[in-house]
Amino acid sequence: MFTVTTADLELAVATLVYPFLRVLALMSSAPVLSHRSVPRTARIGFAFLVALLIAPTLPPGGAVSPFSAAGVLLVIQQVVVGVAIGLVMQAVFAAADVAARYVPAVGRAFVGAARAEAEARQCADALFLARELFATPRREAILILVAAFERRVVVVPDAGFRGRVTAAEWRGVVDRMTPSLRRGAVREAFAQGLAALEALLRAKGCGPGDGANRLPDDLVRGSAR
């Protein structure tokens, strides 16, 4: 005959309730999971599921009933430990966020190469349209964007160069600028890029027909240093 004693029930409850309380306390104070957008029932359900998974792997701690004085102390201990772990995680996330904001090298570590390239390209295209660089008579405007944070260079030529200058040749201008930009020498990168661009356009026989400069030579955003 199979019998279940009160001690067996208390042991089963204790085996589950202590890890459940620690995980729930952690989730209630940890970054992301503690956000108000996460429903409370979802946190409770997830904490219960995690407790079910990890309870069998925990070493037996003895039949400490959660309803006894020792059990109450153990409950408080689990809650405090869980909250402490969550607060430590918040401190780590906050430190990483501050470092990413004020230390460019750290910020770049959180931005993949593909995203950095896409962000720089999007900014360049937006500036080209916002400054109406497409409005030159022969559609021969060229925008060179230097994204100092991402350490990317984007060249946006207008439609007048289509079929006259290849993508590989525009890439050659970018390649001339990239080493200086990686060293943080933005002014030097611009000088090298403009020299490479001038040489490329001369080789292609490109230039304003009447010798007039249709666009200002000033930087359209930021400053070189």
What is the gyration radius of the CA atoms in the chain, in angstroms? Answer: 31
Each residue's pLDDT tens digit, 90-148: 998 888 778 767 766 666 666 777 877 888 888 888 888 888 888 888 888 888 888 87
Do strands 152-157 and 142-147 pair parallel, antiparallel, or not at all (unpaired)? antiparallel
Task: Provide the pLDDT for residue 225.
Answer: 44
b (16+ CB within 10 A) / e for 143-166? bbbbbeebbbbbbbbbebbeeebe
Is the CATH number 3.30.70.380 carried by domain 113-204?
A: no
Statement: the pTM of the whole predicted model exceeds 0.85: no
| Portion of the chain with pLDDT greater than 90, in percent | 13
Task: Provide the pLDDT for residue 172.
Answer: 92
Domain boundaries, the chain: 6-109, 113-204
Q: How confident is the model at residue 196 (pLDDT cuts 50, 70, 90)?
A: very high
Give the mean model confidence (pLDDT) for residues 32-43: 85
Separation in Å, CA 1 to CA 4, 12, 212: 10, 20, 103
SS3 annotation, 128-164: HHHCCHHHCCCCCCEEEEEECCCCEEEEEECHHHCCC
Each residue's pLDDT tens digit, 152-179: 889 999 988 888 889 999 999 999 998 8
Average pLDDT of the residues of the chain = 80
Both structure tokens of 166: 């290849």
Longest dimension (CA), the chain: 106
